[in-house]
């Protein structure tokens, strides 16, 4: 079996173009991973997701441990078979969802005990169990269990949280079953505190991982602060390992993070927006529910080749959302994911050609100009 690996194929400043090899195929970076929380990218079939250009998807440990259960997925052939996605899958460890969704969360050195947001049942998630669940799911990329304090926590609280996260990272590494094509990523935490971010990065490198994620961002701190944290953190991460910015983000967030050296992204934004009427275009964001689209014969984005844009007008999508037809959400989600994959493809090409600055300037000029209605 092919070993898990990362190869950098081009550079443009701090930005990198590369390729990650996994047990279920490889994918080019910088890459955006559509979020398939409960073994499905909402409003999309696996074939639809692949048609957008996505090569890797993200699934969620927390949600899948609650239902249908990791052991059941394993008995049914693993997550790739279960959701009919043959390509690479990354599973996050559930730490963020325990913080944001679970009830009555209790932390200890051992792990976290919480009540399910679904039915109130009590669960215990330890670093060992989080890794075991991801192994049962057959995730190509496993994430360590981390502790995710709420945004705004003071330094004492963040330090205590980081101590726990680093202890859990060591135990996650010990629990991981090393095998060809499968990788384990550590997660850098530390809030907005430069010294904690450095300490976290250095401790994780000491443990040794196949890739390194930056967590605890996109939780309310704002783009400028997020970029400042990346500027502090990324110089301490190994150049030869993939770098993953968790839960980010908007197209401008992605562009800014790529220029700083991030290789992998995930975010619910394109799919959630697709279900609520927001579309991403080369002229910025639009709300398809707005009355100005009611008789607009144009596609969502004239430069897009997705089925929503090649086969349907804005007027039709406007009608679907006003009529509360599910096809509207399906078409707009497909468009948004296609837009994100087109953006990543453009970024990769620009890095390869040494033209990322010009590409980024063109993108920002288009977003700033806005969506211009026909005369």
Summarize pLDDT for 252-262 with one digit per residue, the tens. Answer: 999 999 999 99
Residue of 92, 138, 146, 210 marked active site: 92
For residue 47, count CB atoms less than 10 angstroms from its CB and return exposed for 0-12, middle for 13-18, buried for 19 or more. Answer: exposed
Tell me what the pLDDT averaged over the chain comes to. Answer: 96
**pLDDT of amino acid 374:** 66
Choose among 273, 274, 290, 302: nearest CA to 374: 302
Given 212, 240, 267, the domain boundary residue is 267
CATH assignment at residue 45: 3.20.20.105
- The H or E element spanning position 17 is strand 15-22
Q: Is 266 an annotated catalytic residue?
A: yes
Asked whether residue 238 is domain-assigned, the answer is yes
CA distance 215 to 346: 25
In a domain, 262, yes or no: yes
- Strand pairing partners for 103? 115
3-state DSSP percent of the chain in helix, strand and coil, to 5: 45, 20, 35
User: Do 303 and 225 belong to one domain?
Assistant: no
Domain assignment present for residue 374? The answer is: no
pLDDT in tens, 261-320: 999 999 999 999 999 999 999 999 999 999 999 999 999 999 999 999 999 999 999 999
205 and 337 housed in the same domain: no
Let me know if residue 95 belongs to a domain: yes
Quick check: is 138 in a domain?
Answer: yes
- Note whether 133 and 185 are same-domain residues: yes
Mean pLDDT of 354-372: 96
Regarding whether 302 and 184 lie in a shared domain, the answer is no
Whether 38 is covered by a domain: the verdict is yes
Return the SS3 of 45: coil
- Which residue among 210, 242, 267 closes a domain? 267
Domain contains 250: yes
Show the domain range for 300.
276-369
Q: Are residues 290 and 252 in the same domain?
A: no
User: Which of the listed residues 213, 248, 267 is the one where a domain comes to its end?
Assistant: 267
Same domain for 233 and 325, yes or no, is no
Are 33 and 107 contained in the same domain? yes
Whether 255 and 352 map to the same domain: the answer is: no
Do 238 and 281 lie in a common domain? Answer: no
Instruction: Give the mean model confidence (pLDDT) for residues 138-161.
Output: 94
Domain count, the chain: 2
Same domain, 176 and 56: yes
Global pTM? 0.97
Strand 15-22 with 284-287, pairing = unpaired
Asked if residue 308 and residue 334 are part of one domain, the reply reads yes
Please tell me whether residues 258 and 281 are part of one structural domain.
Answer: no
Q: pLDDT for 238-248, tens place per residue?
A: 999 999 999 99
Selected catalytic residue, list 266, 296, 301, 371: 266
């Amino acid at each position: 079996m092919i070993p898990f690996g990362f190869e950098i194929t081009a550079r443009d400043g701090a930005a990198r173009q590369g390729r990650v090899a996994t047990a279920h195929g490889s994918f080019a970076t910088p890459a955006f991973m559509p979020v398939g929380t409960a073994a499905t990218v909402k409003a999309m079939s696996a074939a639809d997701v692949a048609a957008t250009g996505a090569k890797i998807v993200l699934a969620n440990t927390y949600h899948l441990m609650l239902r249908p259960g990791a052991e059941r997925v394993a008995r049914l052939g693993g997550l790739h078979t279960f959701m009919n996605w043959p390509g690479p899958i990354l599973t996050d460890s559930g730490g963020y969802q325990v913080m944001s969704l679970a009830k009555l969360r209790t932390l200890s050195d051992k792990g976290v005990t919480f009540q399910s947001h679904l039915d109130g049942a009590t669960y215990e998630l330890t670093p060992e169990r989080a890794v075991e669940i991801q192994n049962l799911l057959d995730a190509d990329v496993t994430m360590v269990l981390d502790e995710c304090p709420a945004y705004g926590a003071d330094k004492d609280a963040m330090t205590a949280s980081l101590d726990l996260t680093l202890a859990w990272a060591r135990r996650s590494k010990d629990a991981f079953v090393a095998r060809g094509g499968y990788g384990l990523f550590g997660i850098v935490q530390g809030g907005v505190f430069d010294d904690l971010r450095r300490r976290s990065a250095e401790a994780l490198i000491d443990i040794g991982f196949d890739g390194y994620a930056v967590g605890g961002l996109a939780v309310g701190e704002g783009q400028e602060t997020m970029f400042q944290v990346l500027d502090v953190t990324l110089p301490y991460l190994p150049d030869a390992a993939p770098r993953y910015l968790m839960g980010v983000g908007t197209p401008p967030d992605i562009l800014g993070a790529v220029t700083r050296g991030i290789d992998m992204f995930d975010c619910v934004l394109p799919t959630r927006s697709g279900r609520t009427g927001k579309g991403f275009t080369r002229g910025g964001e639009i709300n398809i529910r707005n009355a100005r689209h009611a008789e607009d014969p144009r596609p969502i984005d004239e430069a897009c080749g997705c089925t929503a844009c090649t086969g349907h007008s804005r007027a039709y999508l406007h009608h679907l959302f006003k009529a509360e037809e599910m096809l509207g959400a399906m078409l707009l989600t497909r468009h948004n994911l296609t837009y994100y994959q087109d953006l990543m493809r453009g970024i990769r090409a620009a890095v390869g050609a040494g033209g990322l600055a010009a590409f980024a300037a063109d993108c920002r000029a288009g977003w700033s100009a806005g969506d211009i209605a026909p005369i």
